[in-house]
Chain A
Amino acid sequence: MRRVLLPAALLAALIGLWQIAASTGAIADALNLEPYLVPSPTEIARSLWENRSLLAENAWVTLREMVFGILAAIAVGIGFAVAMHQWRAVRDASYPLIVASQTIPVLVIAPILTVWFGYGIAPKVVIIALVCFFPLTINALDGLRSVEPEAVKMMRSLNASRWQLFRRVEAPTALPHVFTGAKIAVVIAPIGAVFAEWAGSSAGLGHLIQSDAANFEVARQFATVAVLSAIALGLMGLTALTERRVVRWR
């Protein structure tokens, strides 16, 4: 209970402070802004309610992009980790490149991918997968490498084939690490989604934020952010739940 109550209390206190500061106009005055540019939490909540169908429509678009992107990243990340674990040459050749690739900002490649793949869901899935691929690959590889050498000897001595070693020892050992990677992926996926939609889109929460920014719809921008983070938290919870059901031995 304490683990739920304490953050909830802190959140309530922060929202309360914000409510007071915004509704009295203290923030707007301090920043020398029109009051409508600094919406209070109640105004954001009202915007959330009034725009519920618009937000739901766009949330559905972004959720689909994120789910497909994360699933693609899981498939590619695990595949890559297994290949790097199985063949030393693959690891030596690709590991530095994979690390180096992380220095390229998504912001820069998103427009290029939009040029290549158009305005549909494809470039979004690719961009989200690119962002999520790294933590998944690295964690899966760490997991595979954390297998004890003694366990490998034991399995070899008990007639295990390469595949049996993978299925009965390596894969289960790596599984919790894969879930760690998946949780990180789920948290950073919204960033990829928003950048991808900013680079060119006709719908989605990132698209909505962008057009609202142009129209100074600040309350709805906050409402959109709330929806986006709710999606990420939901996916995070789903991942944790799946982990608990799959990794029963922990």
Chain B
Amino acid sequence: MSDELPPFQRFLDGHRDVVWRFLVSSVGHSEAEDCFQETFIAALRAYPRLRADSNLRAWVLTIAHRKAMDAHRGRSRRAVPVADPAAVDARSATARPAHDEALWNAVGELPARQRSAVVLRYVGDLPHRDVAAAIGCSEEAARRSLHEGLTRLRKVVPA
């Protein structure tokens, strides 16, 4: 690791793809843009106070996770189903196998913590320790949520 924080633009360049994928997986396409903006604005505000040896990927995914939770809460207040079909980008829906669609619909229907654990682990590519830190629970609780989420997905989606 460098002993200095990278310029914010380089941090943004380096993590925009993973944050975008995480948010699209977590809140759907229609809300990903707002969450993306809020995530990186929050990151920018806090940025100069960050330690240079921080795990930037885990840090920004933690912020993105919080923004996704806020979006979920807002959506449940509006009583819209979590797996909103309109949230799926029509263009890619036609381009991908039906199997993946079923899988991601099932991910969208997982309880919030299980969904976060699954998406942080497999889309964010974070180790269990960082998944736990992002969700704000113990590593064991994160492993449990991940296990429960995967078990549920296996039931819903034929492998």
**Do A and B belong to a common assembly?**
no
Chain A residues close to B by CB (< 8 Å) = none
Chain B residues close to A by CB (< 8 Å) = none
